[in-house]
Each structure stands twice: as structure tokens, then as C-alpha cells.
Structure 1
Amino acid sequence: MKKITLALVAFICLSTATAQIRIGKAILPYEEKFDNVELKLNGAGLREMLWVDLYAGGLYLQNKNNDPKKILEANETMAIKLNIVSAFVTQKKLIKAINEGFERATFGNTKPLQDRIKKITTLLSEPIVKNDIFDLVYIKDKGVKVYKNQKELGIIEGRDFKYALFKVWLGEEPASEAVKKGMLGIQ
């Protein structure tokens, strides 16, 4: 009986520690921890183009929320995870998409953020391959830490930068409506 109980406890601990969700070909964890803050998957969506899955995007928050304005304005630790599932997503295409996203997010007024936009594109200058995972983590009162495959690449300061960056996926003209709805959990 003791062995069965131990096996059951071990199984429960193992299954909760590896809880994940499949979005297309990507697998995203239900929980993440950044800067000692526990975050839970708010929602996730799949970016497709011409019936090709490009990446899965997940939004991690401390508490569930489906209001993009409140999420964008919040000064609390949160993250966007991008799981690349296609070789069609290259470093050059990602940087182009981010630059276009900042243009839309700021209504063409990128000048106040220009140095920091350049910094994020520099951080993303390494080649991208299928199964790369990017975490864009806003740390409360600090800025956005950029991770690639769990390796920290750098930090970009400013809540205004976080607002514009997260608006690329959660704004009025998102990179993908399906990813936005998925991240907000309203799909």
C-alpha cells in the first residue's frame, strides 16, 4: 500500500510539474516563473500564413485577464512566449515583423522608442531555426528581458517600451488576430 501511495504522489507531482498545452505543433507550459514571479498561461494562439503554421504565441500573466487595454497598461510582471514551428520564420522576417508591429503600435511615431527598437532587433540578430523559443518578459518597474531558448539576451528598459512591444500582439492592429484572441483566451 505504501508503494502505491508513493507512486501515486510521484505521478501527480510529475504531471503537474510538466503541465503543458499543445497549440498546433508547439507545446507551451501552463506555468512559467520569471524573476521569482509565478505566471500562468492566459491563453495562446497560432500564427498561420497560407495554411502554414509559423509560430505559437502565449501570454503569461499573474491573473487571468481578457482586456487588452488593462494588460497593456499594467505595471506587473508578464510574458509573451513565441514558439517557432516553421523554418519559414527567419531572423530577417522576425525583425521586419517586429519593426512593422512597432509602426502600427505607435501609429508611425517610433522616434521616442527608436534606440530601444534597434536594441531588440540587435538582440534578435542570431539565426532563427525551427523550435526556437523566445520569451519577452516584462519585469515590473525594470523593462523587457529577452530570452532565446531560456538564455537571457538582454533587457530593454521602460514600461513605454513594454506597452508598444506587447501591443504588437495585443493592439488594435495585431500581428495576428488569431494569436491575439488566443492570448486573451477568447477564441
Structure 2
Amino acid sequence: MRALSSFLLILTLIPFASHARSISDVKLEEIIKVDASDAELSLNGAALRKTYMVINTYVGGLYLENPSHDENQILESDEHRRMLFHVLLRKVTARKIAQALKDALVLNISVEEQKELEPNINQFIAMFEGKLKRGDEVNIDYIPGKGTHVIIGGTDKGIVPGKQFADALLSVWVGENPVGSGFKQDILGY
């Protein structure tokens, strides 16, 4: 009887353990819902971003309606998606993060695309102000037909219009020159 009780206790705990993935003490939910559409997204993959190979900078997670290992398929699809990052640094200026994102974005698009997307890039960069601290999250959601919805530290910063910008921004993590090849592989679920 005692063995049966222990077995039943274990069975009740299993579902709770499967609802989140933990990386560097950051829990990422396996399934989330975004915007008013109630689109359900699954965690495609998650990774720890280190700078200078020693500084834990953030934990990133890529959520998709239809998980995929293929970055081209992800970029071509016109479905909801979320790239989130959870800040691990004690304190960092939002502008520094924005500049790092812009630098990484420019590495992954052509000069022509950069010129075409300059107003979108500037709008996105302007959303980052103040400081971010350990535990803050940045959610970058692509909403089909609308664009890139940005929430920084729980504050809704608005929407940058267009899918082209959303795809260019996601290339920071899954493009030809991602923030890290291991990071890219992890968020693609390899």
C-alpha cells in the first residue's frame, strides 16, 4: 500500500515538472498564450547567452505556434511567435541592450534592407529606455498582420509594423550571423 501511495504521489508531480524548462535558474513555460487572439505557442528551444564566454547575460526562449528546427521555415511562416529574453545581469542600460540588438540585426541583413527598415529599426531602438535589472524580461512578439509587439520589463512599448522587420529582428538569433552558434542551435531545439 505504501508503494502504491508513493507511486501515485510521483504521478501527480510529473505533470507539474513538465510545464516549465529551467536554464540558469530561469523557468520558461513550455506553453504560453499571446495577445487577444489566444494563440498558443510552444517553447521551441531555450539557451543561455554569454558574453566574452564568461558573463551570463540573458536566457532566451523562442516560442512558436508550430515548433520547427528549420530557421527558414520559421522566418517564412506567418504565424505568431515570441522571442523572449530574461536579463541575468545585475543592471544594464536599456540603450546598451538596444544598441547590441541593432548591431546584431545589421550583421544579418543587407545594406538595402537596412536602409528600407531604418524607420522600423529606429522605432524599435527608441522603445528601450532606462535600466533593466536581473529578472526583467523583454518579449518580442510577432503578430500576423500587425508586426512586432514589444514588452520591456512588463511595460507595453507598442508595435513596430510589418513582417519584414520582425523577420530581420529574429535573424539576430537564428540568422546567418546569430549572437552565438550554440545559442542558435539551442533555440532551434537541437
Aligned mates of 2:153, 2:94 — CA distance in 1:
14
* TM superposition shift of 1:87: 2.5
Aligned mates of 2:173, 2:92 — CA distance in 1:
16
Q: How many residues in Structure 1 have an aligned counterpart in Structure 2?
A: 177
Aligned mates of 1:86, 1:38 — CA distance in 2:
30
One-letter amino acid of the counterpart of residue 63, structure 1: N
C-alpha distance after superposition, 1:41-92 (max 9, x if no partner): 0001111123121101100011220000110111111110101111364323
Q: Select between 100-109 and 43-52 the one with higher mean Cα deviation.
A: 100-109
Distance change in 2, residues 1:119/1:142 (3 Å): same
C-alpha distance after superposition, 1:89-130 (max 9, x if no partner): 432321121111221121333111111111111111231111
Match of 2:110 among 107, 110, 115: 107
Match of 2:74 among 71, 76, 86: 71
* TM superposition shift of 1:40: 0.6
Matches within 5 A, 1:51-90: 51-87=54-90, 89-90=92-93
Q: Is the 8 A contact 2:95 2:125 kept in 1?
A: no
Aligned mates of 2:185, 2:71 — CA distance in 1:
10
Gaps of 5+ in 2: none
Percent of paired sites with the same residue: 30
Matches within 5 A, 1:2-151: 15=16, 19-35=19-35, 36-49=38-51, 50-87=53-90, 89-109=92-112, 110-151=114-155
Q: Is the 8 A contact 1:25 1:85 kept in 2?
A: no
Give the TM-score normalised by the residue count of structure 1: 0.86
Q: Is the 8 A contact 1:62 1:77 kept in 2?
A: yes
RMSD: 2.1
Aligned mates of 1:152, 1:24 — CA distance in 2:
26
Match of 2:187 in 1: 183
Aligned mates of 2:129, 2:153 — CA distance in 1:
14
4+ residue runs over 6 A deviation: none
Distance change in 2, residues 1:151/1:42 (3 Å): same
* TM superposition shift of 1:148: 1.9
Q: Secondary structure at the match of 1:64?
A: coil
Q: Select between 84-93 and 130-139 the one with higher mean Cα deviation.
A: 84-93
Q: Secondary structure at the match of 2:41?
A: strand
Gaps of 5+ in 1: none
